[in-house]
Amino acid sequence: ATEGKQEAPAAESNSSRALQGKAGDRSSVLYSAGQFFFEYLVVVSLKKTSDGRYEPKITYQFPKRENLLRGQKEEEERLLQAIPLFCFPDGNNWAPVTDFTSETFSFVLTNVDGSRKIGYCRRLLPSGRGVRLPEVFCIISCLGCFGLFSKILDEVEKRRQISMAVIYPFMQGLRESPFPAPGKTVTIKSFIPESGTELIELTRPLDAHLEHVEFQALLQRLSPDLILHIFASAVLERRLIFLAEELSVLSQCIHAVAALLYPFTWAHTYIPVVPECLLDTVCCPTPFMVGIQMRHLERVLDQPMEEALIVDLCKGKIIRAVGDEEEILPIKLQNEMLTSLNRHNNNNNVHTPEQVNTLVSEAFVQFFVRIVGHYASHIKWSKNGPGTFQERAFCKAIASKTNRKFVKKFVKTNMFSLFIEDAEKSRIPQEGKR
């Protein structure tokens, strides 16, 4: 994500608000300003094992945590065990190289309580001569803001070419700075030998729900028709598998698909890049959204799998489908979204990534507004307790038969239930209408 965000059209804020109140704020990650930027920076390197293979290991961790309580210590150990697998999800196929194009990707770890931490990774070749192995710099944070962390990783990579010692003061400065509010900037002072003190400005986009997303990545790889088939499958919480070789493509595209569901949140298994040792995730009977490297395609297709949508992001096609994808969404609304997506596709060179994000998001938010935007008037409020959602009256209020047929399925999803649960606890949309 780049800076200099264009003003969002007024319609974006209005239609989003129609579906918000507190309900829209249940997000997979915390967006509050003033928090720490990150919890850890770790470096994961490949170490040779006795049988000649390479195993990813954490070789550097900042900050080192002292005096943790037992529960915290166990959680930290679990976290530090999982990180190497996700930094090198491609298993043991490594050999020292002289040339390697650095790549940026992210992964998500879900805690027992359902909260999520994000790992922002930059895989790069340390400077030097001769053959050497890539290493991964991974920043763990509970804040979802891909563009901002990519910029931080640019700074880390720049310092890594000088020496590891120059990274530490920069990360310390970052850790002491509060996370900025949407639309605001925080300036970090940083000293680099030879070039002196630098001021690094980190700006958050104005639209908090779009800061972890790059819809262009999706539009460049898939036709609008396919994007709608994927969206329809995600809305009904089915199993979705995405395939690509590059980790950056997988993580960008999956984050973009999850963001299409806004103001709802994908509440099931969500692994943008599946490590090789967890490939049997695809046998789960429950819903999931996962990214798998193309080299594992045969293994995935051989697994005893329930119905799933399998998408090839390299060729921009669907490998396996349930078969009813184009009939899930009400046809009139589906055509409106298609028109909207085609328009952005044709103007791809004219719009900045932020404008594309805003325009694409608006098309999908509009869909939800049209279909379930009347939810707030079907919450019955008790005197001072929480509200109760009147599901039957809510469905009955939909005039269009095809819309009603779709909504009857949608209200049974986990994402709708969680959204309504939040709405029932929040009186905000009903202020003054008691």
Residue ranges covered by each domain of the chain: 40-208, 215-334
Nearest by Cα to 215 from 260, 155, 183, 174? 260
- Residues 356 and 344: their CA atoms lie apart, in Å, by 7
State the DSSP H helix or E strand holding residue 77, giving kind and residue range, or none if neither: helix 70-87
DSSP string, 335-396: HHHHHHHHHHHHTTTTS-HHHHHHHHHHHHHHHHHHHHTTGGGGEEEPSSS-EEE-HHHHHH
- Residues 35 and 180: their CA atoms lie apart, in Å, by 8
Level-2 CATH architecture, domain 215-334: 3-Layer(aba) Sandwich (3.40)
Burial class (CB in 10 A: 0-12, 13-18, 19+), 55: middle
- Residues 228 and 218: their CA atoms lie apart, in Å, by 11
Contacts for 266-269: CB closer than 8 Å, 24+ residues apart: 266/28, 266/234, 266/237, 266/415, 267/114, 267/414, 267/415, 267/418, 268/237, 268/414, 269/110
- Residues 376 and 382: their CA atoms lie apart, in Å, by 14
- Residues 47 and 87: their CA atoms lie apart, in Å, by 14
- Residues 183 and 13: their CA atoms lie apart, in Å, by 15
> Is it true that 40-208 and 215-334 share their CATH fold?
no
**Structure tokens belonging to residue 75:** 């959680």
pLDDT tens for the chain, 434 residues: list them. Answer: 333 333 333 333 333 434 543 333 333 333 344 467 888 899 999 998 888 888 899 998 888 777 777 777 787 788 888 899 999 988 777 888 888 888 899 988 877 667 788 999 999 988 888 888 999 999 998 888 888 888 899 989 988 888 888 888 888 888 888 888 888 888 888 877 777 788 888 888 777 777 778 888 898 999 999 999 999 999 999 999 999 999 999 999 999 999 999 999 998 889 999 998 888 888 888 999 999 999 999 988 888 888 999 999 999 999 999 989 989 999 999 999 998 888 766 655 567 777 888 888 899 999 999 989 999 888 888 877 788 888 999 999 988 999 999 999 999 999 999 999 888 887 754 444 44
Eight-class DSSP state of 230 = H
From residue 129, alpha-carbon distances to 133, 239, 355, 399 in Å are: 11, 46, 43, 70
- Residues 61 and 103: their CA atoms lie apart, in Å, by 21
State CA 295 to chain mean position distance. 23
State the DSSP H helix or E strand holding residue 167, giving kind and residue range, or none if neither: helix 167-175
CATH superfamily, region 40-208? Longin module (3.30.450.200)
Burial class (CB in 10 A: 0-12, 13-18, 19+), 228: buried
The CA R_g of the chain, rounded to the nearest whole Å, is 23
Tell me the whole-structure pTM to 2 decimals.
0.82
DSSP string, 266-296: --SEEESS--GGGGGGGG-SS-EEEEEEGGG
Beta strands in 98-209 (DSSP E): 103-110, 116-124, 135-141, 185-192, 196-203
